[in-house]
């Protein structure tokens, strides 16, 4: 009876082990589509077998093994950050490009072309009041085109700033979520595959927003920081980022009231902007702190739109102010008004001089030529003198180069978005192959464990029958 009882106990242990293995496979199948879930493997271990010492062997269940591959996870995080960066730049740069029309029929190019053409027409009839009025109207249209472009870029700057605020808020929310999951792990969920799935799904979402470094801890929690070391999550504690502003670094500011650049501050108030090298936040910062200031300026640069507006206005004013309305009657003012003290607002604040009217617009040039002023203004369309050029280009060419730089950045962002999308898909496929749930493999496991379970169940049934037979044999004898 003793050996039968021992055999029953061993068979019972085996049944429990196979049931445990079946439960693990079933859980894997149930979570095959759960974000962040890694396949779990049931470990069955042989019990000590030494009949002479009373150790009758058998099988029992061991601790589950998590198949998660951290190298594969890190590759997904890296590619997700690159994709977030490219996508953010693509979206923001598309808005910047829309603010800078380059077709000959709209925006600054159209206004300048019309101004030059009407100045040329005026040169043919310098005493024609209607042609003179056309030039005045064109000057107002040029002013409007610069103001419109500057306002459009400013709107993009504002929307990009709002996106930065929203992205930082999302980062903080995900960090808080991770700290809560860490707390759950510390409170008894160290081996909870469901908690781990939530942690790694959240980490992937976070990695798309900002570059992160993740250090898994022995207690099952994760420590998360930016690549440069600024902490985001340590155990049950989250460390929030915030958005700040600062003057662009320069030894000699070009404008004391120039627009500031955007900075990101760590939980201790330190500037951690330089630690942000990829992710959505980095892409937005690139547009906010590099592309847009290149157009509208900051403390270190005037900005191409302002440079163009200032140069054009100063050159036109020089021509007009040196002209004469009639013999012996010099011009009283220039055509445009600019604020030399604040060059980073030249495009936004450009205006037609209120003291200039069509009747006061001079036609006689400095050299006494009756149509000298309109000829000189028309010649600005294709300048031949360095004094009438801006960085070696005509005004329309300079504008085209500035808009073209934005276009080139957009093309690169679009290409990177396509490439990184492919790389993310590849990284996720590799991760799935390494640690994801294979339904085919789990189906095979289920069949194997079921067969083992059924075989042991038959052994148990046989042992029960033998035990009952022995009981039946001894009961009559005892009576």
CA 237 to chain centre: 25
Q: What is the pLDDT of residue 314?
A: 93
The answer to whether 373 and 362 are in contact (CB under 8 A) is yes
Same domain for 95 and 14: no
| 353 part of a folded domain | no
Same domain for 279 and 249: yes
| 315 part of a folded domain | no
Same domain for 138 and 109: yes
Taking each helix axis from N to C end, the angle separating 70-98 and 193-209, rounded to the nearest 10 degrees, works out to 30
Same domain for 151 and 43: no
Integer Cα distance of 171 and 176 in angstroms: 9
Same domain for 282 and 241: yes
| 365 part of a folded domain | no
| 445 part of a folded domain | yes
Q: What is the pLDDT of residue 139?
A: 97
Q: What H or E segment, with its residue span, contains residue 446? A: helix 439-478
Q: What is the pLDDT of residue 50?
A: 62
106-165, pLDDT tens digit by residue?
A: 899 999 999 999 999 999 999 999 999 999 999 999 999 999 999 999 999 999 999 999
- HSE-CB at 432 with a 13 A cutoff on CA atoms is 13
| 253 part of a folded domain | yes
Q: What is the pLDDT of residue 30?
A: 62
Q: What is the pLDDT of residue 1?
A: 45
| 351 part of a folded domain | no
Same domain for 141 and 61: no
Q: What is the pLDDT of residue 458?
A: 65
Of 263, 224, 208, 251, the residue nearest 78 (C-alpha): 208
Q: What is the pLDDT of residue 103?
A: 75
Same domain for 147 and 100: yes
Alpha-carbon dihedral sign for residues 80, 81, 87, 88: positive
Q: What H or E segment, with its residue span, contains residue 337? A: strand 336-337
| 369 part of a folded domain | no
Same domain for 51 and 83: no
376-386, pLDDT tens digit by residue?
A: 999 998 866 54
Same domain for 147 and 44: no
Query: Whole-number mean pLDDT of the chain?
Result: 85
What is the domain extent for residue 218? 79-303+395-426
Same domain for 22 and 85: no
Same domain for 27 and 157: no
Same domain for 29 and 178: no
Domain count, the chain: 2
What's the average model confidence in pLDDT over 434-450? Answer: 61
41-53, pLDDT tens digit by residue?
A: 666 676 676 666 6
| 387 part of a folded domain | no
């Amino acid at each position: 009876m003793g050996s039968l009882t021992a055999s029953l106990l061993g068979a019972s242990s085996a049944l429990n082990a196979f049931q445990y293995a079946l439960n693990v496979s079933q859980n894997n199948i149930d979570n095959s589509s759960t974000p962040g879930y890694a396949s779990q493997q049931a470990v069955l271990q042989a019990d000590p077998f030494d009949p002479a010492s009373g150790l009758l062997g058998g099988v029992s269940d061991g601790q589950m093994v998590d198949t998660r591959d951290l190298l594969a996870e890190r590759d997904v995080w890296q590619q997700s950050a690159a994709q977030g960066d490219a996508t953010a730049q693509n979206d923001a740069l598309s808005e910047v490009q829309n603010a800078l029309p380059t077709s000959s029929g709209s925006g600054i190019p159209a206004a300048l072309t019309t101004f030059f053409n009407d100045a040329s027409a005026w040169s043919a009839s310098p005493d024609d009041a209607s042609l003179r009025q056309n030039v005045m109207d064109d000057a107002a249209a040029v002013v409007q085109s610069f103001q419109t472009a500057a306002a459009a870029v400013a709107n993009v700057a504002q929307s990009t700033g709002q996106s930065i605020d929203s992205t930082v808020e999302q980062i903080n929310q995900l960090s808080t979520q991770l700290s809560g999951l860490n707390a759950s792990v510390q409170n008894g969920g160290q081996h909870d595959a469901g908690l781990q799935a939530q942690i790694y799904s959240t980490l992937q979402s976070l990695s798309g927003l900002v570059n992160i470094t993740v250090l898994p801890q022995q207690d099952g929690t994760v420590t998360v920081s930016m690549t440069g070391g600024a902490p985001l999550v340590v155990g049950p504690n989250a460390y929030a980022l915030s958005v700040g502003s600062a003057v662009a670094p320069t030894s000699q500011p070009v404008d004391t009231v120039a627009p500031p650049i955007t900075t990101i501050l760590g939980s201790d108030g330190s500037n951690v902007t330089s630690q942000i090298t990829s992710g959505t936040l980095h892409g937005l910062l690139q547009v906010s702190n590099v592309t847009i200031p290149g157009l509208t300026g900051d403390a270190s640069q005037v900005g191409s739109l302002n440079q163009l507006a200032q140069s054009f206005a100063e050159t036109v004013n020089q021509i007009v102010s040196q002209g004469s309305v009639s013999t012996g009657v010099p011009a009283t003012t220039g055509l445009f008004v600019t604020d030399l003290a604040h060059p980073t607002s030249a495009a936004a604040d450009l205006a037609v001089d209120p003291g200039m009217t069509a009747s006061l617009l001079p036609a006689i040039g400095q050299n006494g030529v009756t149509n000298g002023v309109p000829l000189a203004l028309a010649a600005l369309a294709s300048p031949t003198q360095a004094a009438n050029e801006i960085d070696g280009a005509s005004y329309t060419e300079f504008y085209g180069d500035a808009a073209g730089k934005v276009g080139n950045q957009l093309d690169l962002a679009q290409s990177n978005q396509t490439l990184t999308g492919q790389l993310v898909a590849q990284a996720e496929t590799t991760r799935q192959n390494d640690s994801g749930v294979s339904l085919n493999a789990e189906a095979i496991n289920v069949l194997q464990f079921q067969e083992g379970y059924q075989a042991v169940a038959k052994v148990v049934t046989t042992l029960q029958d033998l035990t009952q037979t022995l009981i039946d044999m001894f009961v009559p004898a005892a009576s």
